[in-house]
Amino acid sequence: MELRQLRYFVAVAEEQNFGRAAKRLHMSQPPLSMQIRSLEEELGTKLLERSTRRVVLTDAGRAFLERARAILGAVEEAREVARSAEQGLRGRLEVGFISSATLTLLPPSIRLFRKRFGSVELDLRELTSAQQIDALYAGEIRTGLVRLPLRAPGIRLEPIFEERLVVALPSGHELETFERVPLEEIADLPLIFFTRQLIPGFYAQIVELFQRIGTFPKVAQHAVHLQTIVGLVASGIGIAILPASVKRLSREGVIYRPLDAPDATSWMGLAWVEGDESKLLQNFVHTVREVADNEMPSAATTWETGTRDHG
């Protein structure tokens, strides 16, 4: 049984006439009659009662017509789903994100994406930058918002949003009086820092800042999540150097001051597997780019070639 036979049968049943059905199907009447007879032979039952003027459905024909319409409708729906998926209008997209993305790019990007592509299911997963790279290699996510710089062969890394670095201090700290905190002032202070293996690029960036002034950060405590670091600062264990978006975390007992040091900025970026040009993925990428360009006041549009090469 072929789909075209179902279409032919439905046309004849609805027109109640082979001639009109053939005209509707843009074919001649003899092959149409042959196809209907072939269908009846395959089913082993008569679907139509034929006369010179009209055709009438048998009981079997009426029952079969209902099923034939349902099958053709399901096929058309499947065809439309496939077309929509090809255009990135349907499907499922797994997206990784670092915790600080929830303070900047992620919420407005998700809102805009859902407004435009409401039939796409987003599977959002909070992961560190290193975990996202592993998940991309494993095919567990399709794209992610990561903290740059990173090294990841086979992964495309696109800087998307730049923000200043700030120093998080416990309330009442002696450096609270500074409008901007020079790096030299915190060189000997205990630092609460991200775990190196999970946030490798940001870790290396901060180490490099300290090395420029001839020292190395004195890490008193490692942590994985931004909220944990801020909580540890509030407890007085140490200070922290963080992206400026952390100021949106309302935490009693913590104050923030801009870090006064050359290149004291941090980039958030998009990551996806090189060669993945699916429309579904690209729709998300374009949405995040648009949000970064239009809604993020400190978003920058340039990226030094040397830094990109080391990503």
What residue ranges define each of the domains in the chain, with the CATH number in brackets? 3-86 (1.10.10.10), 91-159+268-309 (3.40.190.10), 162-265 (3.40.190.10)
Which pLDDT value is given to residue 89? 63
Question: What residues form DSSP beta bridges with 215?
Answer: none
What's the average model confidence in pLDDT over 199-203?
86
The band of 307, judged by pLDDT with boundaries at 50, 70 and 90, is very low
- pLDDT, one tens digit per residue, over 161-188 is 999 999 999 999 999 999 999 999 999 9
Which pLDDT value is given to residue 144? 97
DSSP string, 183-241: HHHHTTS-EEEE-TTTSHHHHHHHHHHHHHTT----EEEEESSHHHHHHHHHTTS-BEE
What's the average model confidence in pLDDT over 113-120?
92
Which pLDDT value is given to residue 102? 93
Share of the chain above pLDDT 90, in %: 54
Degrees, nearest 5: CA angle 302-303-308 = 160
- pLDDT, one tens digit per residue, over 247-297 is 888 788 999 999 999 889 999 999 999 999 899 999 999 999 999 998 765
Question: What residues form DSSP beta bridges with 266?
Answer: 163
For helices 106-116 and 279-294, the axis angle rounded to 10 degrees is: 130
Residue owning tokens 């405590």: 221
Whether residue 211 has pLDDT greater than 90: yes
Helix (H/G/I), strand (E/B), else coil: 10: helix
Q: pTM here?
A: 0.69
Which pLDDT value is given to residue 78? 77
Whether residue 121 has pLDDT greater than 60: yes
